[in-house]
């Protein structure tokens, strides 16, 4: 098998140390049967305010 030498895709800086895995996809979204479609929930608690509105300056909302 050949090693991966190039990866193409989007990336975003996340200037936080020690990110808890529960922050990546919060537990309330992990009860799904499907194994796809999790994108909108990525860092949900950091990307959405308590009223459910997007925080515009969070990196995934730009």
- pLDDT, one tens digit per residue, over 6-52 is 989 888 888 888 999 899 999 999 988 888 999 899 999 999 999 99
Integer Cα distance of 3 and 53 in angstroms: 42
pLDDT at residue 55, as a whole number = 95
- Global confidence as pTM: 0.72
Q: What pLDDT shows up at residue 43?
A: 94
pLDDT of residue 62: 85
């Amino acid at each position: 098998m050949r090693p991966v030498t190039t990866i193409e895709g989007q990336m975003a800086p996340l200037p936080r140390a020690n990110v808890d895995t529960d922050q990546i996809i919060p537990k309330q979204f992990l009860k799904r049967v499907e194994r796809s479609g999790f994108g909108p929930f990525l860092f949900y608690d950091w990307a959405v305010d308590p009223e459910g509105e997007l925080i515009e300056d969070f990196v995934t909302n730009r």
